[in-house]
Amino acid sequence: MVDSFTENKSTQSHLVERVKELTCLYDIARIAADTSMSIEKMLTGIVGILPNAWQYPSAASAKIVLDNRAYSTGNYPRSTRQQRTAIIIDGKRRGYVEVAYSRNKMIKVQKPFLDEEQKLLDTVAREIATIILRREAEMDKLKLEEQLRHADRLATIGQLTASVVHELNEPLGHILGFAELLQKCPNLPAQAMADADKIFSTSLHAREIVKQLLIFSRHTSPRKAKVNLNQLIKNGLNFLECRCISSGIKLNCCLCPDLPEINADAHN
């Protein structure tokens, strides 16, 4: 009779522990299902769940360390007896999950941890690794989608630039032609001649910028050739020069005169 009572009590205790384990895993799955929750908040929530699944929940504490950042219950003791399992993600150890008891509270208990609790901790570590892997894959996907949207916007801008450049070339050609004719007029006053020269030089500069924009907007395959770095820098500064002058900024460019040519694509 005593043996039967003891056996029933042991079975009941075993069932209680299994219920706590299943409840723990259910609660972790519930947290993982909330995709709006940040990884930090998720790990904090899991830490709060773990102690209740162990034999002595009132004395248990939990801690998760991921990428050198720790998440733990507020009563995490310094001197402990603990169970620990590594968090392995894509074959790399990224941290660990740990449940601990204070040595002062559990000093009379010879075996504070059950074998089943170690198995539960292993399962929790695998679940955390799976959740983190899934969340990071989702974030990578979002970043890739944003990069694709950005590339699409750049392609649209390139097409628009090519169209605008085409429309600007014709009036610039007319301005240059009329300025050149004006320069050839006899008996032209000095001030008018200076203005005509300024119109002509400014129009040439504008046409060069338009030319560079057209080159920039073209989507061509990379073609490497010998290029002069100094000339590439000068071409790039052409886009900034007018803007700097209008803002009262003086642009100083110091180039090395004897730079060797390099093998590169001048337009990409």
Q: Which pTM value belongs to this model?
A: 0.59
pLDDT computed for residue 192 by the predictor: 84
Which pLDDT score is estimated for 1?
Answer: 46
Residue 217 has pLDDT above 50, yes or no: yes
Among 35-49, 130-144, 216-230, 242-256, where is mean pLDDT lowest? 216-230
Domains and CATH numbers, the chain: 2-144 (3.30.450.40), 222-268 (no CATH)
Sign of the CA dihedral running 237, 238, 239, 242: positive
Q: Which two tokens stand for residue 167?
A: 């429309």
The pLDDT of residue 69 is above 90: yes
Which has the closest alpha carbon to 100: 71, 67, 59, 69? 59
pLDDT at 87: 96
The rounded distance, in Å, linking the Cα atoms of 242 and 246 is: 6
Check pLDDT > 60 for residue 221. no
Q: Which two tokens stand for residue 45?
A: 């929530």
Task: State yes or no: pLDDT of 116 exceeds 80.
Answer: yes
Amino acid (one-letter) located at 110:
Q
pLDDT at 168: 81
Write down the mean pLDDT value for the chain.
Answer: 82
pLDDT tens digits, 145-198: 998 888 888 777 777 777 777 778 788 888 888 888 888 888 888 888 888 888
Question: CB neighbours of 226 closer than 8 A, spacing ≥ 6?
Answer: 261, 262, 263
Is the CB of residue 75 less than 8 Å from the CB of residue 50? Answer: no
Beta bridge partners of residue 91, listed in sequence order:
none
Residue 135 makes CB contacts below 8 A (sequence gap 6+) with 39
The span from the CA of 66 to the CA of 223, in Å, is 46
- pLDDT given for residue 2 in this prediction: 45
For the stretch 12-61, pLDDT in tens is 767 877 888 899 999 999 998 888 889 999 999 999 999 999 988 888 89
Task: Note the residue count of the chain.
Answer: 268
**Cα separations in angstroms, 73 against 1, 26, 173, 210:** 43, 20, 75, 63
